[in-house]
A and B are shown apart, each in its own frame.
Chain A
Amino acid sequence: MTEIALFGAIEIGLVYALVAIGVYLSFRILDFPDLTVDGSFPLGAAVCAVLLIAGVNPWLASLAAALAGAAAGLVTATLNVRFKILHLLASILTMIALFSVNLRVMGRPNVALLMQDTVLTPFYGLGIPDHIVRPLVVGIIVAAVVLLLARFLGSEFGLAMRATGVNARMARAQGVDTDAHVYAGIALSNALAGLAGALFAQTNGFADVTTGIGTIVVGLAAVIVGETVLPARALALALVGCVAGSILYRLAVQLALSADAIGLQASDLNLVTAVLVAVALILPRLKAKASRSTKAAR
């Protein structure tokens, strides 16, 4: 693997780490299977791209992308909490609607940003190679998100949100407004996906309606790989696990991309990626089983 390819994989892994953290928030903390990210990720990319073209400051545009993602999350949460639509279905409805919304936002299927100033532009002139600057800037943003989120989830509001996910009835009995916490949590989750979309558009020079395809799959895989390699009780570590899982997932894709050397074709990419991720998930389990059986034998 060349240095540029390695840093490229890390960079894309870091961008999707935000999605993974969002998915962790919805699936794990709130116990709310939310597929909205497939739509809120490209929504973030679209909003950011359109604002950049209009000459808005890149940081403001990225913030707006996060807010747009949060709004999408609120729609899903409203459908579920207010109108009692099953969470999975509510999120699917928002996700498919967002495809049309994203086309409206951009006015066409693809908006190019190759010649626009982005959050990365000021850092390109510092004498560090481009392929290192990008993961560095994205990494700093991800680190900031992890720190803020760890603090937030340790706050009274954050603890109540976690209680909502673990046992909503018990949480309500303790006077927690569980509905409010579902709204807040799903909005936050999709805000992170929107921010990830904005960063993806800026680091890759385009926003495209198809960018959302499979976002939830990548996010979930990252969460689970992260939990396997870093089985942490502490919440901050679990968030770091999401980041690690996302980067490992990208390294697996990178490995699959290099697989033509062992006789595989370009079309085998997804299969190889799936096998690598499956192996990463199965290995620790086998190891645990082996150590258990040796213990039993003794």
Chain B
Amino acid sequence: MSFTRLLCAAAALAAFVGPIAAPVPAMAQSKTVAITAIVQHPALDATRDGIVEALKDAGFVQGQTLKVEYQSAQGNPATAAQIARQFAGSRPDVIVPISTPSAQAVAAATRDIPVVFTAVTDPISAQMVKSMEKPGANITGLSDMAPVGEHVALIREILPQVKRIGVLYNPGEPNSIVLVKALKDEAAKVGLSVVEASVPKSSDAQQAVRSLVGKADAVYIPLDNTVVSALESVIAVGQQAKLPIFSADTDSVARGTVASVGFDYFQVGKQTGAIVARVLKGEKPGDIPVALAKGTDLFVNPKSAAAMGVTLPDAVVKRATKVVGQ
């Protein structure tokens, strides 16, 4: 008896599912892009909107020559895995997973459908690709790692005499280790030296920044939760010692760092969409190098800069997306 009930339930479900999920008849020469994100929040939603916008610029207009499927896993990785399977089955022209877990689930679900990931900070350690320059296989995408190179360039533009950059970070934060390594690479390229000071806990931040006075011409704070939570004490030392403090994130500029370049996730989406368009036009994902998101938002804080003995060049202030205090 009970087995028949089970069968009935299964049959009822199948009857439901069958017609609803029948593939929508394709429009003439229309392409399908399937986008998925682990969760809905402003940055990820803006990324999605940017992708659609960039595709429109490239001639793929949603509703006319482009069909966009979108699914959010609502924060649940098991659902992310199921969405990945659904996309693997519906075979869109490109799958665009936003965020690391969604990207990994999609990569595990298909080996042949083109995948363009975005908002994945470190695609190598997430095992999305073996190499940034030549991803191979069916996957490429865009990394939203903090644009450390642009940060170094910004510090040099504001302080042309800078020779030594101090960096405050907690060696226990994996993200910071990645960024400090990137900082050393970028600094070496332009002949700057890097002086490290470790901050194992927030209460050590003040002492650590004092240790940099006289040893560094400017201080850089990566996206380090330990240091950022003690930001005010670091800035106080910077003002007393006339030591300019820079941050990797733009939010800290409002709290008193001199300046930073950060992302507008709509623009990150547009940069991703440009890659998606290349794939739709026939390029193989494996031949397209993984791109680094470009910083588009310049935040400056002239008042805090003055307190640290820095006058911001007019060109920088003019270019800024946001001037704190105005």
CB distance from A161 to the nearest CB of B (A): 24
Stretch at the interface among A23-31, A58-66, A173-181, A199-207: A199-207
- Residues 107-136 of A at the B interface (beta carbon under 8 Å): 107-108, 110, 112-115, 130-131
- Residues 94-131 of B at the A interface (beta carbon under 8 Å): 100-101, 104-105, 107-109, 111, 125-128, 130
- Residues 1-58 of B at the A interface (beta carbon under 8 Å): 2-3, 5-6, 9-10, 13, 16-18, 20-21, 23-24, 40
B111:A258 contact, CB within 8 angstroms: no
Which of B13, B85, B174 interacts with A252 by CB under 8 Å?
B13
- Residues 240-269 of A at the B interface (beta carbon under 8 Å): 244, 248, 250-255, 257-262, 266-267, 269
A204:B89 contact, CB within 8 angstroms: no
CB distance from A72 to the nearest CB of B (A): 19
**Does A139 belong to the interface (CB within 8 Å)?**
no
A8:B21 contact, CB within 8 angstroms: no
**Does B74 belong to the interface (CB within 8 Å)?**
yes
CB distance from A202 to the nearest CB of B (A): 9
A250:B74 contact, CB within 8 angstroms: no
A213:B75 contact, CB within 8 angstroms: yes
**Does A34 belong to the interface (CB within 8 Å)?**
no
Q: How far is the CA of A113 from the CA of B100 in the complex (A)?
A: 13
Chain B residues contacting A252 (CB-CB under 8 Å) are 13
Q: How far is the CA of A259 from the CA of B91 in the complex (A)?
A: 18
B90:A16 contact, CB within 8 angstroms: no
Nearest CB in chain A to that of B103: its residue = A206
Chain A residues contacting B104 (CB-CB under 8 Å) are 110, 112, 114, 204-206
Which of B13, B88, B126, B174 interacts with A107 by CB under 8 Å?
B174
A260:B101 contact, CB within 8 angstroms: no
CB distance from A231 to the nearest CB of B (A): 6
**Does B79 belong to the interface (CB within 8 Å)?**
yes
**Does A214 belong to the interface (CB within 8 Å)?**
yes
Which of B16, B24, B71, B100 interacts with A257 by CB under 8 Å?
B71
- Residues 201-252 of A at the B interface (beta carbon under 8 Å): 203-206, 208, 210-211, 213-214, 218, 229-232, 237, 244, 248, 250-252
**Does A9 belong to the interface (CB within 8 Å)?**
yes
**Does A280 belong to the interface (CB within 8 Å)?**
yes
A257:B82 contact, CB within 8 angstroms: yes
Which of B9, B23, B72, B108 interacts with A114 by CB under 8 Å?
B108
Chain A residues contacting B88 (CB-CB under 8 Å) are 4-5, 8, 131
CB distance from A212 to the nearest CB of B (A): 9
Nearest CB in chain A to that of B5: its residue = A229
Nearest CB in chain B to that of A9: its residue = B82
Which of A1, A130, A269, A270 interacts with B21 by CB under 8 Å?
A1
Count residues of A near B (Cβ-Cβ below 8 Å).
Answer: 57
**Does A2 belong to the interface (CB within 8 Å)?**
yes
Which of B17, B78, B130 interacts with A254 by CB under 8 Å?
B17
**Does A284 belong to the interface (CB within 8 Å)?**
yes
**Does A156 belong to the interface (CB within 8 Å)?**
no
Which of B9, B72, B100 interacts with A110 by CB under 8 Å?
B100
A205:B17 contact, CB within 8 angstroms: no
B78:A218 contact, CB within 8 angstroms: yes
A254:B107 contact, CB within 8 angstroms: no
CB distance from B117 to the nearest CB of A (A): 12
B6:A1 contact, CB within 8 angstroms: no
A211:B17 contact, CB within 8 angstroms: no
CB distance from A205 to the nearest CB of B (A): 3
Nearest CB in chain A to that of B81: its residue = A204
Residue from the set B72, B77, B86, B126 with the largest chain A CB neighbour count within 10 Å = B77
Chain A residues contacting B174 (CB-CB under 8 Å) are 107-108
B126:A112 contact, CB within 8 angstroms: yes
CB distance from A90 to the nearest CB of B (A): 25
Chain B residues contacting A261 (CB-CB under 8 Å) are 20-21, 24
A1:B17 contact, CB within 8 angstroms: yes
Q: How far is the CA of A203 from the CA of B91 in the complex (A)?
A: 20
B9:A280 contact, CB within 8 angstroms: yes
Chain B residues contacting A244 (CB-CB under 8 Å) are 6
B108:A230 contact, CB within 8 angstroms: no
**Does A142 belong to the interface (CB within 8 Å)?**
no
Q: How far is the CA of A262 from the CA of B16 in the complex (A)?
A: 12
**Does B133 belong to the interface (CB within 8 Å)?**
no
Chain B residues contacting A9 (CB-CB under 8 Å) are 82, 85
The 6 closest A-B pairs by CB, nearest first: A8-B85, A4-B89, A2-B89, A205-B108, A112-B127, A5-B89
**Footprint of A on B, CB under 8 Å?**
2-3, 5-6, 9-10, 13, 16-18, 20-21, 23-24, 40, 69-72, 74-79, 81-86, 88-91, 100-101, 104-105, 107-109, 111, 125-128, 130, 174
Could you list 14 further interchain pairs (A-B, Cβ under 8 angstroms) beyond the known A8-B84, A12-B81?
A6-B89, A8-B85, A108-B174, A114-B104, A131-B85, A206-B100, A208-B77, A208-B100, A210-B75, A229-B6, A230-B6, A255-B20, A257-B71, A261-B21
**Footprint of B on A, CB under 8 Å?**
1-9, 11-12, 16, 107-108, 110, 112-115, 130-131, 200, 203-206, 208, 210-211, 213-214, 218, 229-232, 237, 244, 248, 250-255, 257-262, 266-267, 269-270, 280, 284
16 A-B contact pairs sorted by A residue (CB < 8 Å): A1-B89, A2-B90, A4-B88, A8-B88, A113-B127, A114-B104, A114-B107, A114-B127, A204-B104, A204-B109, A208-B77, A214-B78, A230-B5, A258-B86, A266-B40, A266-B71
